Structure 1
Amino acid sequence: MGWGIIGTWRMALEGVQHASDMLSKGGASGDAIEKAIRMVEDYPFYKSVGYGGLPNEVCEVELDAAYMDGHTLSIGAVAGIKDFKNPVSIARRLSKDRFNVFLVGTGAEEYACKHGFEKQNMLTDRAKKMWESRIQEIKEKNLNPYDGHDTVGMICLDKDRHMTAATSTSGLFMKKRGRVGDSPLSGSGFYVDSKIGGTCATGLGEDIMKGCLSYEIVRLMGEGFHPQEAAEKTVNAFSRKLSERRGKAGAISVVCMNNIGEWGVGTNVEFSFVAATNTAAAKVYIAKPAGNKTEYEEAAKEWLDVYQRRIEKTV
């Protein structure tokens, strides 16, 4: 039986590679996806997730994360949690409970403490310097403060056709204290059903949460649409709706996979993603809108080199 994993953004690469090794050896999708997301959360140069994530308006790092089991439809999620490492693991632990599976702020922190999760100051010196720089830019240039809302989200399929979904993010840079985007919201930021497939989203949460895009894509796959068709159809239709109703649509991108390892991507902006299956090693792709379609191609070495230099550039 085949396996597969797909994740948003270039930052998913190392995690997807590690998860691929686990899956190829018969590992469970839940373990593989948790490890993959944790690797993104732990890398300090990824400024929109976990340790090193960019802070809110008062220079606090508030994290959101979610986990879903496609066999049981169990969900766990945390939002606005501070000073705890690896929120995706806390979300997965919550998914094992019957009640109180979505916790926020102090309640999420108390739960994490009670269950022995590791405390850690998630604000790095690098992120603080970027916050200070943005404060100065806002004062001097009247810039919009919001930036850096790249959620890492993944869909995973193991050899037993057990599927999982997970997301993790620090949300909008300079966001209002307590702001929560689409990432921990079931049906919007993620959804998975092992009998069909799964989807996760990234982009401007305030616009993504105006629809149930992840659920809709899974529903379409259940009706027989190929993941690519389902992703394009949903993102294009919703982008048009937002433009008609509100004058514009924010950044919306999705990745999805069905329960036989076929995958797809839809977007209204250029973005990167990573995919791997039992027949194709992990690769970074660049996707962009092309009319009613989404085109993608493997990222060139030059693009990957520029990316690495940019994220590690001295602040």
Structure 2
Amino acid sequence: MLHRRHFLKMGTLGVSSLPFLSMASRKQPAGNKPIVISTWNEGIAANKAAWEILGKGGRALDAVEAGVRVTEDSINCCVGLGANPDRDGHVTLDASIMDEHGNCGSVAFLERIKHPISVARRVMEKTPHVMLVGEGAQRFAVAEGFPLEADKLSADAEASYKEWLKKSEYKPVVNIENTGHGPFAPARLSNGDLNHDTIGMVALDAAGNFGGSCTTSGMGFKMRGRLGDSPIIGAGLFVDNEVGAATSSGLGEEVIKVCGTHLVVELMRQGYSPEKACKLAVERIVKRNKGNVKDIQVGFLAINKAGEYGAFAIQKGFTYAVCTGENKNEMVASKYFI
């Protein structure tokens, strides 16, 4: 039986159709107005939930948690328990969250818990730690009142897994996260699956504070135990309230190797625009790979203190959603290196 006594108690710790914007320079409308941006076409629904909080003057941290919970709830996009499993047939989830004070929480290799992003927030707010993993993360989640879900694959994931087992080949596919429709929707894999795995979200609230979140099932059919960039602070997500916030999507191993989102924020600190900072981070990955990136996709997405936002990717096809109002929630096609 699981008990709360297993965990350190830190009571004193304080703390329709989607129009596409042009690829011109982008800036939030003048004035201290909130904004939320998130990766891929699934960001439209996630932004809507986040805006329900931001539009009422709410905190960015609350908004980015609520926003990506929508994606975790969706079986169709395969972020969360409906996702494709690892090569052993188990779904494992990772998530991270960060607030305007530099506090952060993360979970990794979490099984049978529907909302890893909310568990990550509990780690941030109720423990002296930043990251909990595996069985320990699950035990903490259950002790905090999160239901332990059935250990069963969704129908789509089970079909994909059976198809994958015929060859058992693992190879990341460029832009596979994009599950939307329209001109930026990808072709399906040979088994009919889309294998979406990540959503990252960053927001600036009316008080001028940032929050960020990232949640993922990881790459489908990965080696058991594999972690990407999403639960790693400074890789898949980074927030600095003096400067801005950034998140990423794509091949997590490449993001980890350059501490990608921390790099983007530090470049913004030097005075680069969000788009330029994302571009320079992408170029760092390209250079590290000596230009051999035709099979690699990484996209960075960022926002600065002035409300300017932008993105850049290695390959064409990275999209993100921008919301600045109840009826201003639009898709954007990122600029790209290739």
Judge same fold: TM > 0.5, yes or no: yes
Letter of the structure 1 residue corresponding to residue 264 of structure 2: I
Q: What aligned pairs does 1:1-315 form with structure 2 within 5 A after superposition? A: 1-47=32-78, 49-69=79-99, 71-97=100-126, 99-121=128-150, 123-136=153-166, 138=167, 143-144=169-170, 146=172, 148=195, 150-243=197-290, 250-269=296-315, 270-278=317-325, 281-290=328-337
Displacement of 1:248 in angstroms is: 6.6
CA contact (8 A) 1:242 1:248 kept: no
Query: Cα distance 1:282–1:10, how it changes in 2: closer, same or farther (>3 A)?
Result: same
CA deviation vs aligned residue, 1:77-131 (integer Å, no higher than 9, x gap): 0000000110000001111145222011001001101111122236312211111
**What is the aligned length?**
284
CA contact (8 A) 1:207 1:249 kept: no
Unaligned runs of 5+ residues in structure 1 are 292-315
CA contact (8 A) 1:19 1:33 kept: yes
Q: TM-score, normalised by structure 1?
A: 0.85
Supply the RMSD in Å over aligned alpha carbons: 2.0
Query: Cα distance 1:278–1:219, how it changes in 2: closer, same or farther (>3 A)?
Result: farther
Q: Greater share of helix residues, 1 or 2?
A: 1
Displacement of 1:195 in angstroms is: 1.3
Letter of the structure 2 residue corresponding to residue 236 of structure 1: E
CA distance in 2, matches of 1:217, 1:290: 16
CA distance in 1, matches of 2:326, 2:110: 38
SS in 2 for 1:243: coil
SS in 2 for 1:206: helix
Report percent identity of matched pairs. Answer: 31
Q: TM-score, normalised by structure 2?
A: 0.79
CA distance in 1, matches of 2:196, 2:219: 5
CA distance in 2, matches of 1:266, 1:130: 31
Displacement of 1:22 in angstroms is: 2.1
Tell me which moved more, 121-130 or 12-21: 121-130
CA contact (8 A) 2:77 2:196 kept: no
Unaligned runs of 5+ residues in structure 2 are 1-31, 174-194
**Higher RCO structure, 1 or 2 (CA under 8 Å, sep 6+):** 2
SS in 2 for 1:67: strand
CA contact (8 A) 2:203 2:212 kept: yes
CA contact (8 A) 2:254 2:285 kept: no
CA deviation vs aligned residue, 1:176-216 (integer Å, no higher than 9, x gap): 11111111111111100111100001111111111111011
Query: Cα distance 1:57–1:21, how it changes in 2: closer, same or farther (>3 A)?
Result: same
